[in-house]
Amino acid sequence: MEVTITSENFETLKNGQKPLVVDFWATWCGPCRMVAPIISELAEKYDGKLVVGKCDVEESEELAAQFGIRNIPTILFFKNGEVVDKLVGAAGKQKFEEKFDALLA
């Protein structure tokens, strides 16, 4: 299950027990809409192993700025509170699965 990432819950999720995947996106972004069903499917598949969240860059501009998000979709992978990987732009399901698996390794 995906969670909505906001300034209010980000620090708690980032420093939680499970790794965190954050999809920075916007409603008007075509590639974001292409990636969204893949992210949703993987959020279900990896439920209980990691936390998958979506952060609307227009609603949480300060978070996007904090991580220098200039292109969307940008997916950041956090482990132990630190960014350990990043994927910019649309990608296929296999690429996302590789990144999710690497985060759990």
Catalytic residues: 29, 32
In contact, 11 and 81? CB cutoff 8 Å: no
| Residue of 54, 67, 58, 78 whose CA lies nearest to 1 | 54
